[in-house]
Chains A and B, each alone.
Chain A
Amino acid sequence: MNRVKALIALEDGRTFPCTSFTGPGEASGEVVFNTSMSGYQEILTDPSYRGQMVTMTYPLIGNYGVNPEDEESDRIQVSAFLVKEYQEFPSNYRSTETLAGYLQKQGILGIENFDTRALTRHIRKAGAMRAVISTIDGNPDSLVEKARAIPGMAGQDLVKEVTTGKPYFWENGKRVWIDSGKPETGTNIWKSKGTRYSVVAFDFGIKYNILRCLEETGCEVLVVPATFSPDTIRSYQPDGIFLSNGPGDPEPLTDVIASVKSLIGCYPIFGICLGNQILGLALGGRTFKLKFGHRGGNQPVKNLKTGKVEITSQNHGFAVDTESMAGKNIELTHINLNDNTFEGFAHKEYPLFAVQYHPEASPGPHDAGYLFNDFREMMKKHRSV
C-alpha cells in the first residue's frame, strides 16, 4: 500500500502529522467529525459532505471493505477521509474492494495514523474549521495560510456542485435518465400515475437511500435539479414534492427558496435535512451555523407528538433557529435531546412537514422510517380532498 507522510493544518494554526494511505496528494475543506461506528462507505458518498473532510471518531476503518450496494451517490463526495487506523485487510462477504483502492481510484486522500480524538476534541471546543492536508507541502506555515484562504461554509452555494444536471426517474433502485434532453411538461411524464404516488424530488445532493425509501413506500419518483422550474413541476401535477438533503449553508440558495415558497400549500411537501432548512427559510424563519454540527448515528430526537425518542442518523452543520419559527403557523414536532435544537416541524395549515435528521438512515438506525409512510398518508389524504 502506498503510505506517505502527510500534515494536517487547521486555520487556527494547529497541525497534526499523519500518514496518507492513498498515496500523495493535497486536499482542503472544512474538517468535521462523524461518530458513527459503521457506515463509512455511505458517509463517503453522501453529497451533504461536499466540501468537507470527514474524520471518523471510531478508530478502525476499512474493516469490511467497500461494495457496489452501499453507495449513496455516484461518487465519493468528501474531499478527504481521516481515520485513526486504516484496515487494509477487509473481511465481509459483500466486499469487492479495499477502502484505500476505492478512495485512490477517485483521487480522494485517505489519512491515518494520528490522534483523531485530539482533533475531534479540538473541533468540539473550537468549532468546525477550514483545513488543508498535504503530502506535498510539509511546511506548517504555508499550509495554515492555505487553510485560511479557503472559502468558509457559510454563504457558499455547494448545492450546485452536487445537484443532478438533468432530471431522472428512480426505478428499481436505479437512475433512469429522461432521454429527450429537455423535459416534457404535463402529467404524461408519469408512468404509474394513480397507482403509485407521483413525487417530484428536488435534488440538493440527494442520497440514494431516500429514493429507495420513497420507491419502497409506493412512490414513483422524478428527481429534478435544484434550480428546476416550479412551473414545469406544476404541469406534472405531482402527488407530492420532496426536498432533499444537501451540503452546506441554505441561506445563499435564494432561487431554490423562492421556488419552494411558490409550491408551499399547493402540494404535500416533505423535507429532509437541507430540505427542512429551505422550508424553514421559505416560511420566513432563520438558520444558523452550529459550532461543530451533528454528525453520527446516535442522535436522540424526541417526537413531541408521541413523546417517544428516536435514535437518528444526522449530518448537518446548519440548523433552523427555533425562535425564528415562532408565529409562522407551524408546530414543532421534533427536537434534539442533546442540545434541544430544532429537528422537525409540520405546518398547521398546509400539507407540509420536514425533519432535520435522516429517516432514510444509511448509515444509521431505522427508527424514523415511519416518516416515509407519513408522507404517503399525507399524499393520500390530499389526493382524496
Chain B
Amino acid sequence: MPKRSDLKKILIIGAGPIIISQGCEFDYSGTQACKALREEGFDVVLVNSNPATIMTDPEMAEATYIEPITPQFVEKIIAKERPDALLPTLGGQTGLNTAVALARMGVLEKYNVEMIGASISSINKAEDRDLFRQAMHKINLRIPESGIATTMEEVRVIAEQIGFPIIVRPSFTLGGTGGGVAYNKEDLDLMAKAGLDASLITQVMLEESVLGWKEYELEVMRDHNDNVVIICSIENLDPMGIHTGDSITVAPIQTLTDREYQKMRDASIAIIREIGVDTGGSNVQFAVNPANGEMIVVEMNPRVSRSSALASKATGFPIAKIAAKLAVGYTLDEIANDITGETLAAFEPTLDYCVVKIPRWTFEKFPETEDYLTTSMKSVGETMAIGRTFKEALQKGIRSLETGRHGLGADGKDHTDRFESPPTESEIIKKLATPNSQRLFYLREAMLAGIPMETIYERTMIDPWFLHQIRQIVDLEKKISICGSGKNISDELLLQAKSYGFSDIQLSHLTGRSVEEIHGRRTSAGIRPVYKLVDTCASEFKASTPYYYSTYETECEARISDRKKVMILGGGPNRIGQGIEFDYCCVHASFALREEGVESIMVNSNPETVSTDYDTSDKLYFEPLTQEDVLHIIEKEKPDGVIVQFGGQTPLNLAVPLYKAGVPILGTQPESIDRAEDRELFQSMLKKLKLVQPANGTATNIQGAAAVAEKIGYPVIVRPSYVLGGRAMKIVYNRPELENFTRIAIDASPGHPVLIDKFLEEAVELDVDAISDGTTTIIGGIMEHIEAAGIHSGDSACILPPANVDQEILKEIAAATKAMAKELNVIGLMNVQYAIKGNQLYVIEVNPRASRTVPFVSKATGVPLAKLATKVMLGKSLQDLGLAKEVIPLHVSVKEAVLPFDRFPDVDTLLGPEMKSTGEVMGIDRDFGSAFAKAQLGARQNLPVQGTVFISVHNHDKKLVLTVAEQFYHLGFRIMATHGTSRFLEENNIENVKINKVSIGRPHVVDAITNGEIQLIINTGAGDEPRNDGYLIRRAALKYSIPYTTTIAGAMAICKGITAMKKMEMTVKTIQEYHH
C-alpha cells in the first residue's frame, strides 16, 4: 500500500532536554523521522525545547517550535497549526507521555488530530503494568510474579505474597526513576514510597526478583499489513538487576541456540501484535534463567528507544526513518534498504561482526553517591565499538569511552600500577558482587589474582561465555608480558594481540618499548587494520553506503576517492560537560562540507548521535577517537584537512599529536589552542593585549596556597591542575576551608600545583561566541549568565542578548574578543568567558574552539555559526559568506540547564564551579519574563502563579533577598521563612509566616513541603555539610518536584517569569517566524 494521501501535516514531539535515560538518541531518531516525512512530501510541525538538536534546525521542518514540551504548550501549537496527525513514538518517554496527556485532555479529538504509529490503547497496554500483565497472560507468556500497588498498604500486602528480594518499578517514569531492588522491609518502604512519588499515576509494581538471570532485548518492527521483522537482537553482558542503560550490551545475541532465539523471536512478534503497535518499532526485553532456559518477558516499549538507536547503528538499519515511513502508510516491502540499494526493508539484518556498547558514567561528579549499579539508570552516555570478534570490540569500546583507559588494563592505569600493591582478593570479590562502573577492570584483576572462574561467575552472574572472552584477553596479556622486553614478540603474536583489540599503548606497557617502537615494529611487519563495511547483510549483497569499522583482517573495503576531502573528529560518548552540543557542531560541519562540494568523513564512536547516522556524511568511520585509531584512518584516507575544533575536548586533545604527525589541521592551529590553555602563555597574551584576569597564583603545598590566598584575598577558587573531568573545584571563603580543600586538591592530582584564583563575588558572568576568518572577527552572541559568577557556565541559566550590561562594557567585550581572536590567529570559532565586577572586565577563560553554547546562539540569532565556521576553515571569508556584523535579535532567548540530581539520591543539589547538568532547554519570547518562564517550564520546573514561597538564605544573601521577597509579596504570594530569615524580613516590614528549620523541631519546613504547603523554594547555602537543613530542604524539593532555586539571581529571574505568566497568556511562535 502506498503512502496515505489524506494526511498533509504531521506533528512530531521531541524528547526535550538531555537527561539520564533520555539522551541524544532521540535527536537522531527525530531527525531521521523529519527527513523521511519531508522526503515524502509531508509538512512537518516539530516541537522540542532542546536547542542543541539537529531536529530543531529550521531546515528540518516546515514549522519548528522551540517551546516547552508540556500538554498546554503543545495544545497551543496544535490549535495554531492544525496538523492532521501526531506521531508520538519518536520523542522518547517525554513525547509519548505528552501525547497520552493530549489524548486524555481531549485535545486530539477537539482538533481532529489522528495519532499515528501507536494508539492510546496500545501505549496504555504497554505502559500500564497491570494491563501489560493481562496482555502477556493472554498470549501465554510469563512475566515475573508481581502486583500493582497505589498505596503503601497495598505494597506491604503484595510483598508478603511475592517474598524478598523484590523489584520496585514505578509506572510511567523515565528510565526507572525511583525503582530499585528491596532486600528487606526497610528497603521496600523507602523504595516504594519514592516510587509512588516518582510515578505520574502514583503506581508501583512490585515484582518477583529475577536478579542474575540473563537479559536480552529484541528490536521489532511492524507495518500495517502485519509484517513483523526483528532488526537486532541484543544480549546484556550484565545480568538482570542492572538497568539496560547501565549494562554493557552486545549485538547480536551470543549464548542462545537457534531454538531458544526463535522462541524469543516468536514471543516478540506475538507481543507487538497483542499490544497492538500498528506500525513502527518496539523494544522487548526478556530474562532467561541460565539454569534451565526459562524465559520471561520483562518489558516492552512501544516506541523508538535508546536501544533502537543502538540497533540502527549496530545493523545499519535506520529504525526511526523506517518507522516514520510505516506510520504514513508504507509497508516494509515498499521501502528500499538504503545500504544495499538493491534490496528492501522487509528483511532481518544479519551481522558479520560483533558490536559492544559500554555506558559512560560520571560518578566522579557526584562523590556523595556510591559507584553502584542498580535498576535505576545512572550513566550519561555510551559508546559503541565494532569488531570481528567480541574481544576486539570490547577493547575498542573501552578505549572509546575516553576515561583514560586504552583497553582492558595493562595500559599504565591499573590498580596494580597506581598503588604499591594490587587490590586484595577480598576487595576484588566484594567489587565483583557489587556491580560498578569499573567492573570490567575488576574482572581482569580477579583473573590475574587467580580467582576461580566459578567464583567470578557466582559473584557477578556474568555469563561464562563473556568471562571466558575476557579471560582470553587476560591470558594473552600475560603471554605478551612473558615475552619480556618485547624483542622476542613474534609477528604472529603481535597480530593476535591487535586482533584481540590491544592498543599500541597497552603493547608498549607490556613490552617495555615505546609506542613509536611498537608502531614501527608492527607496520614493518605489515600489521595494519583494514576497514570493513556495516552492510546489513553480511556481504550477501553489494553495499552502497560507506559505513566502516576497523579490524585486523586481510581484505580492506574502504573506497578511497580522489575528491577533496575533510575529516571531522566527533566528540565520542556523551558525558557531563561534553554532550549533544558538540555533535550538533560536527553535523553542521558535515553539512557545510557537502554544500561546498567537499567529501566529508566523520569519525565518532557515539551510537546515540546524528553524526553517526550513515547518511550524515559522505563516509562514516565508527571508531574510537584515539591517536592510534584516528591516525590509521588518516593514513588510509589521506584527507586534505582535519577539523578538530567541533567535537569538544576529545578531538582537541588529539590536535597536537595529529599536527606533529604531519596531519593538516583546518582552522585555528594547535599552537593557538596551546596558547589559550597554557596558564603562562595565556597570561602573557593578556598582558600584551592589556586585558585583565582575576588575581591568581599556584602552590604546591598548604602553606603556599595560604600565602597566595592571603595575597589575593578571600574568597578564592581552588582547583587541582591536570585532573580528569575538571573535578574537585571549590570556592573557599577562609583559611580553614582553604587548608581543608587544598589537601583534597593535592591528593586529586599529586605532584601537580594547585591553582588558586580570586573569586569575584557577585560578579556578572558572560559567555561570548565569536567567529573569525583570520582577518575579520564577528561576535556570534553575548550571553549574560543569570546566576552570579561561581557557578559553572554549563549549569548557569543565561540570556541573549544581555539585559543588564551597559553598552560601553559590551563594546569593550567585543573589542577584547576581537583582539584575542587576532592574537590567537583564530580561524573558525572561539568562546570567551568574561566576568564584570564594578566596571572592570575580567577575562576568565578563552577556548579557540566551538563551545557548548554554539547551538543555542545559532537558534537565538538564526546564524548557523558552525556551518559558517566550517566554510571559513575551508578558506572562505566572512564577507563571502554574507556575515557582516553581529546579529542582535529583538526577541529574548533564555537557556536553562537541566540537572540529574533525581538519579543520585544522596547528592546535594547546590550548584557550584563543577558542571553537573546533563542538558539544556531554551525559552524564547518577546520579553525576558516570558522567555525565562518558558525555559523553566521546559526544564520541568513548574513555576507557580500563586501559593507560598519559602525563603531561607545564607547570611551574606540576606540583603539581596529583600527585593525578591517584596516582589513575591506583591505578586500575591504568601512568604514562609525560617527563623533568621523571617526575623530579617519582619524587620524590613515584609509579612511572613515563620516555620521551623529541620534541626529545630517539628513541624518543620520539610513537613510543609511534604504536605504540599509550599509551591516555590528559595534556598541558598554553602553546602559544606551534607546533612544540614539546606540539604534536606533541597532534597525534599527535588522529591516533590517543587521548583527551587539556590541563588538570589535565580530567584529574581523566577519572579520575573511568574510576573509574565500572570500578566498574559503565553503564545507560541516558530523559529522560522523569529528569523524571518
Contact = CB atoms under 8 A, between A and B. Distances in A.
B262 A298 contact: no
B761 to A, nearest CB: 60
A39 B291 CA distance: 20
Interface in B549-595: 553-555, 557
Contacts of B388: 59, 84-85, 117
A90 B468 CA distance: 9
Interface string A96-135: 0000000000000000001111101100100000000000
Nearest to B265: A365
A311 B229 contact: yes
A39 B257 contact: yes
Instruction: Pick the most buried of A35, A37, A124, A364: most chain B CB atoms within 10 A of its CB.
Output: A37
A129 to B, nearest CB: 16
Most buried by B among A39, A70, A93, A362: A93
B541 interface: yes
Contact of B347 (A67, A94, A298): A298
A307 B331 CA distance: 10
A118 B531 CA distance: 12
Contact of A70 (B257, B349, B555): B257
B350 interface: yes
Contacts of B350: 35-37, 57-58, 296-298
Nearest to A121: B539
Contact of B255 (A39, A41, A58, A91): A91
A116 B352 contact: yes
Contact of A38 (B225, B257, B292, B541): B257
A299 interface: yes
Contacts of B390: 60
Interface in B217-240: 225-227, 229-230, 233
A92 interface: yes
A309 interface: yes
Contact of A59 (B253, B261, B343, B352): B352
A274 B642 CA distance: 56
A41 B257 contact: yes
B493 interface: no
By CB atoms of chain B within 10 A, which of A57, A59, A94 has the most?
A59
A30 B352 CA distance: 21
A58 B352 contact: yes
A308 B225 contact: yes
A337 B343 contact: yes
Interface residues on A, range: 35 or more
Interface in A59-99: 59-60, 63-64, 67, 69-70, 84-85, 87-94
Contact of A118 (B252, B266, B354, B554): B554
B554 A93 contact: no
Looking at B253, B257, B350, B468, which has the most chain A CB atoms within 10 Å of its CB? B257
A58 B538 contact: yes
B555 A39 contact: no
A37 B333 contact: no
Contacts of A36: 258, 350
A316 B60 CA distance: 46
A76 B188 CA distance: 54
A294 to B, nearest CB: 9
Interface in B250-288: 252-262, 265-266
Contacts of B553: 115, 117-118
Interface in B919-963: none
Contacts of B542: 124
A35 B254 contact: no
A367 to B, nearest CB: 8
B65 interface: no
Nearest to A306: B225
A114 B331 CA distance: 39
A57 B540 CA distance: 9
Contacts of A85: 388-389
Interface string A315-353: 000000000000000000000011000000000000000
Interface string A292-312: 000011111010000111010
Interface hub of B261, B290, B332 (most chain A Cβ within 10 A): B261
Nearest to B556: A118
B644 interface: no
A57 B352 CA distance: 5
B344 A300 contact: yes
Interface residues of B, number: 55
A39 B265 CA distance: 14
B354 A60 contact: yes
A67 B259 CA distance: 11
Given A84-B389, A91-B465, A118-B554, A124 B257 contact: no
Contacts of B537: 35, 298
A220 interface: no
B227 A308 contact: yes
B255 A365 contact: no
Given A58-B538, A64-B257, A337 B344 contact: yes
Query: Which of B225, B256, B292, B347 has the largest number of chain A CB atoms within 10 A?
Result: B347
Contacts of B900: none
A67 B258 CA distance: 12
Contacts of A89: 464-465, 468
A298 B539 CA distance: 13
B474 to A, nearest CB: 13
Contacts of B77: none
A275 interface: no
Contacts of A94: 257, 293
A366 interface: yes
A42 interface: yes
B258 A93 contact: no
A205 interface: no
B555 A58 contact: no
Given A60-B254, A311-B229, A124 B539 contact: yes
A124 B540 contact: yes
Interface in B49-89: none
A308 B332 CA distance: 10
Contacts of B265: 365-366
Contacts of A365: 262, 265, 348
B960 to A, nearest CB: 64
B540 A92 contact: no
Nearest to A63: B254
Interface in B716-739: none
Contacts of A60: 254, 354, 389-390
Nearest to B1: A307
Nearest to A116: B352
A364 B347 CA distance: 13
Contacts of A361: 262
Nearest to B288: A93
A179 to B, nearest CB: 32
Contacts of A366: 262, 265-266
Contacts of A299: 347
A55 B346 CA distance: 25
Nearest to B294: A93
Contacts of B230: 311
A87 B540 contact: no
Most buried by B among A88, A307, A309, A337: A309
A115 B495 CA distance: 13
Contact of A296 (B227, B343, B389, B540): B540
B802 to A, nearest CB: 57
B318 to A, nearest CB: 17
A247 interface: no
Nearest to B542: A124
B226 A308 contact: yes
8 contacts: A35-B350, A38-B261, A39-B258, A41-B257, A69-B259, A85-B389, A124-B540, A364-B258
The 6 nearest A-B residue pairs measured at CB: A39-B258, A363-B258, A118-B555, A57-B538, A89-B468, A91-B465
Given A35-B540, A89-B465, 11 more contacts: A37-B253, A38-B257, A64-B465, A85-B388, A87-B465, A115-B553, A117-B532, A118-B553, A338-B344, A338-B347, A366-B265
